[in-house]
Structure 1
Amino acid sequence: MRLVTSLTLVDRQWYSTLMVSFGVAAVVLGFAVFSGLFFIRTIVRPLGQVEATANRIAHGDLTTRLPDAPYDDEIGRLCKAINQMAEDLTKTERMKNEFISSVSHELRTPLTSIKGWVETIANIRDPDDENYRKGITIIRSETDRLYNMVEELLDFSRLQNGIKLNCEVLDFVAEATDAALFVEARIRQEGLHLVYDEPPEPYPVWADPARLRQVFVNVFDNAIKYSPPEGTIFFTLTRTATTVTASIRDQGRGIAPDDLQNVKMKFFKAKNAVRGSGIGLAVVDEITKALGGTADITSTLGQGTTVTITLPIYHAGQEHLHEPI
């Protein structure tokens, strides 16, 4: 028996299957090429730009920026973060340069005065001469000013690098009263008035006495410098069930709204700032944070500024929560 059949249909089916397979392979290959190119264009190339830009910023070129990414994805957000970082670094660098220039000027002023009066005194033979006594007084005053400025700079440097706090249980009221007594003579000498009602009961806190005194003195120093003649400085202590607060308010020129958010930043000096290093409030903020508290500043132009220091009330076991840093 012989069976004869045509293979045309089989060949056609085989050919169709082969063509479909080639078509599917071409589509898969095309998709792979397209996705690879898309990956390179949207991820690899932008990441290369980010790396190159970050390296330029790291080497000091703070003017370089990344182009805005066309998509709001991870790469786009990374580009925005890099650009924002560059903006912040530029701002910090500018403030640092202004700070160095300002401090250099502040240091040069008393040094020039001291040098001039030393030369004047050197030509005076009579110790009872009025210029002799005046020169000695100015030299002493300017030397104290230099000493305080250098100490403030050193304290700020130590705080930036980490400073050890020798904390103990303190009476917040007693420490505040001691600070007020310490600056009272200077307040009177500047023709100002201090209003302070000492609370009758103690306010216990866990703090470093030297650093807490420094916080009060720095805030008082700012209030004195910015107070008008015959102005009044108000010093108020309050407490709640969980916190104690010291508020120092002056009647000075105030701080501009656009400067207020930056006055606690290192190197920042407001446009209407007077003499000084300009880092007193930065030191206050660093110490207060280290003690577990906050330093808040409110101000109105032409009416004055209020600095509020808040610390937690001491409770048993708190010494284990805030180890010295």
Structure 2
Amino acid sequence: MSKNRGPISQFIDHHYKHFNAAALMDAAKGYEEHLEKGGKMMVTLAGAMSTAELGRSLAEMIRQDKIAIISCTGANLEEDLMNLVAHTHYERVPHYRDLTPQEERDLLDRGLNRVTDTCIPEEEAFRRLQQHIEKRWKDAEAVGERYFPHEYMYQMLMGGDLEQYYEIDPKNSWMLAAAEKNIPIVVPGWEDSTMGNIFASYCIKGELQPSTVKSGIEYMTWLAGWYADNSGGQGVGFFQIGGGIAGDFPICVVPMLYQDLEMEDIPFWSYFCQISDSTTSYGSYSGAVPNEKITWGKLDIDTPKFIVESDATIVAPLIFAWLLEW
């Protein structure tokens, strides 16, 4: 182990020897080896990792070029910005398991939308973003321009639209770090996010056209080109946090290129790790072991494969800490 590593890395190196702890350590070292050999890494974000403030470590991973591309849900895309501009208005509810239906309704009536133990304030978070992104949508449509969901958010960040509201240290916003690096993001199923719902409402009212925001199919066709251009050499690894569409969507680009476009020399993903507490019962894809992905043309026999069956809010920051030598 490098003598430059900080106390967190030293702790996990000393203590994490077996079971899920050992799987965490193996995955971190595999990620590190992949980068050292010149490989690139896609990180996928499911769940509510932005509300879990993963940006505290993820942003530095982006700044240090340890992530080449991100796939995330629309919720993770927007909730990092909400935390950036409305953090002091959030409320924690540690006893969330004990809330009655009436207490849940009381939170709604106060404009607080709960994500497990954390309530996001509607007025200071959702509506604050809405007024600025609405202008970006309408300005683009007025001149016949179209962008991906994340590109509109990059425009707000780099244009300084939100600086007046910052309530956390900007270095802890992974979206701001990504915008400054201009790394690509893929956001499958963006329509089911709050901003996606708001955009749909403008389309229903006839104030915007659906085509003003580029679609999921366009994300897939763009990703196909990006993967083909970046999969040479050591190739592209796949680091999946949680399950769901954030991981399912981008991992399919390889079999699409190989099988549907008949690019038989396209490389498989060259590293795979998933942090998940899902199981394989009832056909759960999120809980499928990595070997199942061999049958779908996503991973190869000798692809380094890791699965850490644990809470991603605990595991991901530790793996990132190892990679950052904290």
Shorter-chain TM range is: under 0.3
Question: RCO (CA 8 Å, sep 6+): is it higher in 1 or 2?
Answer: 2
TM-score normalized by the length of structure 1: 0.22
